[in-house]
């Protein structure tokens, strides 16, 4: 394994585009397509207005359908790239390429995706980055396969050598059982250029399949600011664990040794499916793109508050709410269905 690959730019760095995998009838979305496709169309529209959007489609027929949907939605089509590629599911954040910069030029890292610790079959998803690269979609950008299970939603970086993650995810024995905490740290330091690793030991969301991905819990807004989910209801099942997570964040120090500026996010009312199962509605699952932040909303009284709070974390970007209730029916949200590509890839 090459352990000195480059440095992972933060999400707010200039981007060439964002990848989506469009829902299809062979995925778990098959019974929810009429609900979820408008979310994807709105999301693609916001991205295409500012940068390229690469969309994986099952086949040529599916690509024609996606094209019709985007045209009907008024999407800026010159920035849309449709790529035919069969996939198991649409959570591209966790099986798409993680792009580092080596000597200022992008390098695609292709980690192993095993369905969040072998919870779900994902052989097609695991091959997506390699097949997309083979189809010359990424131009001359080189690809490096990495013999490590890692999902993009499990890591956050500040652009100054700090990695924020959760032990519950990265140390679960169904991902890399041969590696202990120190070995995981050493490997990620070399691959992602992050000499500092901050581990959260607490924090979870009911209904989450990912073993507490960091992008559902706490996110960098800039190198000195972290926004995080905060539960203010002592009667809620999340209250105690999220209070412990909050205390951990308060004890963390930024790359200059100072306490982080912390922005707590409001707590939405519990969202449940038809069977009464609680769904993982997280406002932390936002996407930073060129000039804007796309924020999941859940038809909740707290929606307006979260947009206001995040404006304080991103004063120079437009804050845009995207209705995401359909997404959490499959246990993810806006950030989970996207993967940004730094400038120079597309």
Query: Is 213 within the bounds of a domain?
Result: yes
Residue 232 pLDDT level (bands cut at 50, 70, 90): very high
Residue 1 pLDDT level (bands cut at 50, 70, 90): very low
Residue 6 pLDDT level (bands cut at 50, 70, 90): confident
* pLDDT score of 2 more than 50: no
Query: Is 1 within the bounds of a domain?
Result: no
Query: Is 2 within the bounds of a domain?
Result: no
More confident residue, 213 or 3: 213
Instruction: Encode burial over 185-203: b for 16+ CB neighbours within 10 A, e otherwise.
Output: bebbbbbbbbebbbbbebb
| Helix (H) or strand (E) run with residue 69 in it | helix 60-72
According to DSSP, the residues that pair with 162 across neighbouring strands are 196
Any idea which residues carry the catalytic annotation?
A: 336
Structural domain total, the chain: 1
- The whole-number average pLDDT for the span 210-237 is 97
Q: Which two tokens stand for residue 279?
A: 């769904």
Residue 55 pLDDT level (bands cut at 50, 70, 90): very high
The percent of residues above 70 in pLDDT, for the chain, comes to: 99
User: 156: buried, middle or exposed (CB in 10 Å: 19+, 13-18, 0-12)?
Assistant: buried
- The whole-number average pLDDT for the span 16-29 is 97
Query: Is 76 within the bounds of a domain?
Result: yes
**Residue range of the domain that includes 24:** 15-342
- The whole-number average pLDDT for the span 276-292 is 97
Query: Is 8 within the bounds of a domain?
Result: no
- Looking at residue 162, which CATH number applies to its domain? 3.75.10.10
- What does the alpha-carbon distance between residue 6 and residue 232 come to, in Å, rounded to a whole number? 40
What pLDDT, in 10s, does the model give residues 61-110?
999 999 999 999 999 999 999 999 999 999 999 999 999 999 999 999 99
The pLDDT value recorded for residue 138 is 97
Mean pLDDT in the chain? 97
According to DSSP, the residues that pair with 82 across neighbouring strands are 55
* pLDDT score of 3 more than 70: no
The pLDDT value recorded for residue 102 is 95
- What does the alpha-carbon distance between residue 234 and residue 243 come to, in Å, rounded to a whole number? 10
Query: Is 29 within the bounds of a domain?
Result: yes
- The whole-number average pLDDT for the span 126-154 is 98
Query: Is 6 within the bounds of a domain?
Result: no
End-to-end CA distance of the chain: 26
Query: Is 3 within the bounds of a domain?
Result: no
The percent of residues above 90 in pLDDT, for the chain, comes to: 98
* pLDDT score of 4 more than 90: no
């Amino acid at each position: 394994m090459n352990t000195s690959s480059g440095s992972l730019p933060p999400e707010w760095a200039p981007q060439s585009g964002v990848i989506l995998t469009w829902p299809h009838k062979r995925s778990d979305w098959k019974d929810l397509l009429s609900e979820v496709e408008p979310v994807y169309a709105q999301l693609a529209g916001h991205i295409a207005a500012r940068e390229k959007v690469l969309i994986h489609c099952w086949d040529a027929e599916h690509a024609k359908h996606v094209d019709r949907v985007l045209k009907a939605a008024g999407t800026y089509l010159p920035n849309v790239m449709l790529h035919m590629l069969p996939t198991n599911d649409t959570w591209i954040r966790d099986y798409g390429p993680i792009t580092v910069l080596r000597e200022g030029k992008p390098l695609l890292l292709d980690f192993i995706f095993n369905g969040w610790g072998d919870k779900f079959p994902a052989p097609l998803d695991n091959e997506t980055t390699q097949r997309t690269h083979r189809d010359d979609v990424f131009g001359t950008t080189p690809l490096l396969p990495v013999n490590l299970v890692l999902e993009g939603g499990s890591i956050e970086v500040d652009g100054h050598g700090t990695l924020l993650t959760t032990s519950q995810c990265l140390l679960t024995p169904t991902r890399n059982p041969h590696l202990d905490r120190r070995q995981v740290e050493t490997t990620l330091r070399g691959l992602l250029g992050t000499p500092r690793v901050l581990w959260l030991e607490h924090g979870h969301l009911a209904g989450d399949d990912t073993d507490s991905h960091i992008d559902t819990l706490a996110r960098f807004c800039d190198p000195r600011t972290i926004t995080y989910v905060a539960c203010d209801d002592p009667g809620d099942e999340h209250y105690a664990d999220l209070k412990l997570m909050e205390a951990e964040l308060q004890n963390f120090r930024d790359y200059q040794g100072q306490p982080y500026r912390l922005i707590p996010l409001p707590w939405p009312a519990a969202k449940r499916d038809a069977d009464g199962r609680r769904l993982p509605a997280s406002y932390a699952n936002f996407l930073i793109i060129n000039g804007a932040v796309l924020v999941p909303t859940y038809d909740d009284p707290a929606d307006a508050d979260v947009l206001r709070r995040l404006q304080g974390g991103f004063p120079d970007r437009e804050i845009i709410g995207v209705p995401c209730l359909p997404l959490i029916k499959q246990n993810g949200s806006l950030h989970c269905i996207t993967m940004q590509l730094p400038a120079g890839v597309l």
